[in-house]
């Protein structure tokens, strides 16, 4: 019977292949029914063939290998995610109208993107995302947010979060290079201390991934280089270019020891141009030093990042890791240093059922270490007046949390931020507490 079933599946595949999926699924049923009517198959065998053929086709389509699907469908990939969040926060500020600040919000993030292969060198993508406004550091939509005119069951806005082309040249000496153009995922190695994870830079960045050097007595070593220009504002008459150019060298070590240790480093320099004596963007935290409403200093910085990942601790087989990120602004003499140090235990990236991770981190971001429109928007900074502002500088504190895989591609996350000002100008300053409970799904 298996031989008959296999032969029939082959015949069906040939017919559908010539049709190139322009025929409807019902035509497969018609063909099977004719084989049953002619006595070639029994009704039970016919049902088995349909079930097996559908399962095989679904598997091939998921792997973009189906010869029966139109060619264009095998060149695109659709990805998305939905996050449901409950968020509690408490703090005091210097504002007389908001001295006791405590609120509970439910928020949603939804993103959907399409990546497409254009040819053997070019690919591109577009991603849409929710968001209460066009702040580059947040894709959250707060439920019932009447303050933005979106309460009372009004419809939400949908923003273009990414739109890019990616070139991977098949040219001698350039075949290890990737060029990004448009609005794309951040290609630099960073942490949330200096770059919020939701920021998608705009401009052009070139990446080079060098070969790996191996030696019996030495760890495997590989080098890389990232560099490019990211626009903040387009060129205006007598205003000069306003953007961030950056360059970063990376070096990775595979230590080949019993712990499965991998050590990664990155050394970078980022230079935002023409910010001094210019006003801050509308969504900045306003925590850098200012003269009037303009930035007082240049805000370029050096960054050193170290990551250590292991597959065991001594004889205990469990994934774990450490990281250290340090930034320094050489253009000012004080309040110019930032540091993040943290560790995790469990799966570095939780995505499958029963995977888990616990982690903790300490951050300190002095007032003029980095621009106040870049850091993690959930980590609180403090203005000169003592107001707590999300995503700013002049803040220090802890981030602790845990993730657990409820199902495949469904993760339950719990995170707590505790922050306080480094330098304060008011007696109303108090630690800021922020708790987030998330359910995150990916498809």
What average pLDDT score do residues 102-126 get?
94
Rounded Cα distance between 391 and 62, Å, is 39
- Is the confidence at residue 439, as pLDDT, over 80? yes
Note whether 36 and 52 are same-domain residues. yes
Rounded Cα distance between 69 and 5, Å, is 22
Note whether 189 and 271 are same-domain residues. yes
**Higher-confidence residue: 106 or 146?**
106
Neighbours of 175 (CB within 10 A): 10
pLDDT at 67: 58
Reported pTM: 0.83
424, 432 in Cβ contact below 8 A?
Answer: no
425, 437 in Cβ contact below 8 A?
Answer: no
End residue of a domain, out of 26, 41, 71: 71
Rounded Cα distance between 270 and 330, Å, is 12
Note whether 39 and 85 are same-domain residues. no
Helix, strand, or coil (residue 25): helix
HEC-encoded secondary structure of 218-284: EEEEEEEEEEEEEEEEEEECCCEEEEEEEEEEEEEEECCCCCCCEEEEEEEEEEECCCCCCECCCCC
Where residue 249 sits, what CATH number does that domain have? 2.40.160.10
CA-atom Rg of the chain in angstroms: 27
- In this prediction, what percent of the chain has a pLDDT beyond 90? 60
End residue of a domain, out of 31, 56, 71: 71
Pick from 186, 407, 406, 411: nearest CA to 303: 186
Note whether 213 and 306 are same-domain residues. yes
pLDDT at 10: 46
Q: How many helices (H) and strands (E) does the chain have?
A: 3, 21
50: domain range?
2-71
pLDDT digit string, tens, across residues 35-89? 777 777 787 777 877 777 777 766 665 555 555 566 667 788 999 999 999 999 9
Note whether 41 and 90 are same-domain residues. no
Note whether 91 and 19 are same-domain residues. no
162, 178 in Cβ contact below 8 A?
Answer: no
Cα 75 → chain centroid: 23
Note whether 7 and 140 are same-domain residues. no
Note whether 42 and 127 are same-domain residues. no
Note whether 10 and 127 are same-domain residues. no
pLDDT at 20: 44
Rounded Cα distance between 22 and 12, Å, is 14
Note whether 173 and 86 are same-domain residues. yes
Note whether 60 and 183 are same-domain residues. no
Rounded Cα distance between 28 and 35, Å, is 11
pLDDT at 429: 61
End residue of a domain, out of 71, 87, 122: 71
Note whether 23 and 96 are same-domain residues. no
- Is the confidence at residue 391, as pLDDT, over 50? yes
pLDDT digit string, tens, across residues 274-314? 899 988 888 899 999 999 889 999 999 999 999 999 999 88
Our count of domains for the chain comes to 2
């Amino acid at each position: 019977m298996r031989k008959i079933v296999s032969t029939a599946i082959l015949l069906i595949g040939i017919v559908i292949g010539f049709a190139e999926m322009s025929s409807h699924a019902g035509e497969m049923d018609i063909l099977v029914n004719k084989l049953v009517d002619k006595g070639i198959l029994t009704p039970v065998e016919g049902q088995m063939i349909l079930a097996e053929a559908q399962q095989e086709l679904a598997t091939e389509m998921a792997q973009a290998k189906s010869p029966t699907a139109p060619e264009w469908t095998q060149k695109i990939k659709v990805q998305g995610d939905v996050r449901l969040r409950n968020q509690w926060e408490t703090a005091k500020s210097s504002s007389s109208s908001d001295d006791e600040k405590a609120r509970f919000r439910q928020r949603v993030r939804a993103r959907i993107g399409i990546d497409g292969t254009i040819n053997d060198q070019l690919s591109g993508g577009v991603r849409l995302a929710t968001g209460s406004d066009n702040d580059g550091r947040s894709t959250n939509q707060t439920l019932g947010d009447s303050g933005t005119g979106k309460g009372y069951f009004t419809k939400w806005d949908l923003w273009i979060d990414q739109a890019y082309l990616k070139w991977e040249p098949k040219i001698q000496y350039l075949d290890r290079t990737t060029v990004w153009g448009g609005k794309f995922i951040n290609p630099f190695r960073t942490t949330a201390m200096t770059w919020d994870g939701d920021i998608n830079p705009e401009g052009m960045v070139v990446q080079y991934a060098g070969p790996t050097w191996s030696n019996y007595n030495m760890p495997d070593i590989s080098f890389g280089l990232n560099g490019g220009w990211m626009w903040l504002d387009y060129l205006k008459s007598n205003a000069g270019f306003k953007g961030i150019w950056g360059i970063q060298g990376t070096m990775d070590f595979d230590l080949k020891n019993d712990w499965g240790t991998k050590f990664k480093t990155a050394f970078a320099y980022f230079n935002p141009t023409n910010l001094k004596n210019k006003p801050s963007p509308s969504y900045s935290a306003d925590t850098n030093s200012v003269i009037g409403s303009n930035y007082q200093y240049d805000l370029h910085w050096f960054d050193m990042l170290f990551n250590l990942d292991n597959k065991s601790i001594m004889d205990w087989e469990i994934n774990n890791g450490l990281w250290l990120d340090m930034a320094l602004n050489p253009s000012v003499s004080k309040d110019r240093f930032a540091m993040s140090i943290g560790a995790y235990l469990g799966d570095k990236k939780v995505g499958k059922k029963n995977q888990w991770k616990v982690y903790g981190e300490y951050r300190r971001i002095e007032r003029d270490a980095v621009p106040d429109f870049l850091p993690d928007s959930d980590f609180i900074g403090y203005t000169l007046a003592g107001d707590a502002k999300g995503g700013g500088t002049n803040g220090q504190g802890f981030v602790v949390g845990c993730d657990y895989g409820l199902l495949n591609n469904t993760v339950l996350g719990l995170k707590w931020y505790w922050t306080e000002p480094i330098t304060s100008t008011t007696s109303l300053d108090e630690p800021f507490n922020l708790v987030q409970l998330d359910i995150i799904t990916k498809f």
